Amino acid sequence: MPFNPEDMGAIWLTLKLASVVTLILLIIGTPLAWWLSQTRSWLKGPITVIVALPLVLPPTVIGFYLLMLMGPNGPVGQFTQAAGIGLLPFTFWGLVVGSVCYSLPFVVQPLYNAMSAVGARPLEVAATLRAGPWQRFFTVVLPLCKTGFLTAAVLGFAHTVGEFGVVLMIGGNIPQETRLVSVQIYDHVEALNYSQAHWLSATMLVFSFVVLLALYSLTAAKKSVGGQHDKD
């Protein structure tokens, strides 16, 4: 078998982290993307920039500041200690916090694009049928944004799987607790164990290829269906 028990543990932990983070990101990102797509507030610009910061900031910068915030002297760390939760750095839930912050734009942006494309007309029609705001959102917006939600979920999951800098800064390298696939590959390379590094790296390469192929195929299919509807 190409994977040893430590590799399998890292793979399982990575999939667990990506699943939890993707779920949290969809819960957080949906109302945020909806607000950004509808608001005319002056706060839209600054909040959009804050959401997009992980796209340009080095992961180690994000990891460093999150480590300071969640550390024993940081405001988040003091709150979690006072609440009896303890410190988050170098724990699984610390990785969750860091991954949510780092992968946020990869979920919010597809949702924002999909919700912006809905336009005002469908909502106005629903309003004339006496549908309330919540009803309009769940019966009009969500069905029209299915592809956006799928894209957001896939990108959020895949991006979390591939993280390295943020998770290493916040989680360290604790077996069965914070050692993810990316960190495990790094360990293999440091130990000159290129065979194991190759197997894990090849797995990540195939995973990334499949994800991108699925996304591009989905986008192409949506455009094809949309174009056919326009002709009809």
Q: State how far the Cα of 9 lies from the Cα of 3, in Å rounded to an integer.
A: 10
What's the pLDDT band for 228 if we cut at 50, 70, 90? low
Burial-class residue 177 by CB neighbours within 10 Å (0-12, 13-18, 19+). middle
pLDDT reported for residue 85: 87
Residue 231 has pLDDT above 70, yes or no: no
Q: State how far the Cα of 58 lies from the Cα of 109, in Å rounded to an integer.
A: 19
What's the pLDDT band for 227 if we cut at 50, 70, 90? low
pLDDT reported for residue 224: 63
Please say whether the beta carbons of 54 and 163 come within 8 A.
no
Taking the alpha carbons at both ends of the chain, their separation in whole angstroms is 54
Tens digits of residue pLDDT in 156-183: 998 998 888 888 889 888 888 888 998 9
Q: Regarding predicted confidence, which is higher, 28 or 143?
A: 28
Rg, C-alpha atoms of the chain: 20
Please say whether the beta carbons of 188 and 3 come within 8 A.
no
pLDDT reported for residue 117: 87
Size (the chain), residues: 232
pTM of the model: 0.86
CA 45, distance to chain mean position in Å, is: 21
Q: Rounded to 5, what percent of the chain is helix, strand, coil?
A: 80, 0, 20
pLDDT reported for residue 164: 87
Tens digits of residue pLDDT in 10-55: 889 999 999 999 999 999 999 999 999 888 889 999 999 999 999 9
Tens digits of residue pLDDT in 64-110: 999 999 999 999 999 999 988 889 999 999 999 999 999 999 999 99
